[in-house]
Amino acid sequence: MERLRRHPELQAWLILAIPVIFLLIFFMAPLLIVFVYSFLERGKYGGVEWVFTLDNIRRVFDPLYFKTFLRSFYIAIVTTLITLGLGYPLAYFIAKSPPNRRGALLFALMIPFWTNFLIRTYAWLTLLRTHTGLINVTLMNWGLLSKPLPLYGNDFAIILGLVYGWLPVMVLPIYAALERLDESLLEAARDLYASSGKAFWRVTWPLSLPGVVAGSMLVFIPSLGAFVTPAILGGGKSLMIGNIISNQFLGAHDWPFGSALSMVMMIAMLAATLIYFRWTKKSESSL
């Protein structure tokens, strides 16, 4: 005890030790296992044979899988852009609302999270399904359509589902950045001859960039790895890399290949994140 009191840094380490140990066991260890597995041969009924191989890594770059990789990136990027386009005005509106109304609006934004994501996605299914979905049935009953719209089983449906799912996650950090923004900075910009549009692009936007970056990351990363949404709304025809990975573990029992796909995806995600950060840093300082 005496020693602890004399060395406050020891106390800090003691408090830190618990989360550090937790992370070492439950985060680092599984990651290491995935890393090691991706260089081993598959076992007959799942599991692994302890034989070193680079085949799994090579197979990831097989056009068959690599195309899905690129498509997943494409879907994640489009999802992020649409979520940003919808989320930014929403965050702006909430941040500019009278302070006593902001809480209620943020609360309303969180309500969808009360229902399980899987249930909500299935609910979307009843709306979007090509022949029996509520939207197509209604439009055709009203005579507005002669043929059902392709709302289901394609990239459109996946992106729609992902945008819906991750919109609140985009709004929150942008809201936090905008809410902190000092109103007098905008008045200063107007006072210095900026139109309201110019004031937005030169002051509001650059000062909200940290929120935009955080929100985009929070949407992009889970969108890239999504598997529930493409599994349900993609109708088994339109798949993302997350579905292939889950299939390797649950269906094909090829754990090493699933691990290799995961590792490559993680590295790609890391690279994308770093590029994005560098790009926003640069545009931030050039503004």
Partner 1 sequence: MTETYAVELQDVVKQFGNVVAVNHVSLQIRDGEFFSLLGPSGCGKTTTLRMIAGFEMPTSGAIYIQGDRQGYRPANKRPVNTVFQNYALFPHMTVAENIAFGMEMRKTPKDEVKRRVAEVLDMVRLGQMANRKPKQLSGGQQQRIALARALVNRPEVLLLDEPLGALDLKLRKAMQIELKALQEDVGITFIYVTHDQEEALTMSDRIAVMNNGVVHQVGDPETIYEHPADRFVADFIGETNFIPVKVVSLAPEIVVELGSGEKVTAGWVEEGLSVGDRAVLSIRPEKMDLLELNEKPSNPSKDTALVNGKVTQLVYVGTDTRHTVALGDGTEVVVRLQNIYIGEEPWEIGEDAIVTWNAAHARILKE
Binding residues vs partner 1 (CB under 8 A): 182, 184-185, 187-196, 198, 202-203, 206-207, 284, 287
Query: Which DSSP string do the residues of 203-254 spell out, in sequence order?
Result: IIHHHHHHHHHHHHHHHHHHHHT--HHHHHHSTTTS--HHHHHHHHHHTS--
* Closest approach of partner 1 to the CB of residue 192, in Å: 4
- Phi, psi of 247, deg, nearest 5: -65, -35
* Closest approach of partner 1 to the CB of residue 173, in Å: 17
Query: Which DSSP string do the residues of 145-167 spell out, in sequence order?
Result: -SS----SSSHHHHHHHHHHHHH
Please, what is the end-to-end C-alpha distance for the chain in angstroms? 53
- Inter-residue contact 223 to 265 (CB < 8 Å): no
* Closest approach of partner 1 to the CB of residue 272, in Å: 25
* Closest approach of partner 1 to the CB of residue 194, in Å: 5
Alpha helices in 97-133 (DSSP H): 99-110, 117-128
SS3 for 148? coil
- Angle between helix 63-96 and helix 99-110 axes, rounded to 10 deg: 150
* Closest approach of partner 1 to the CB of residue 84, in Å: 20
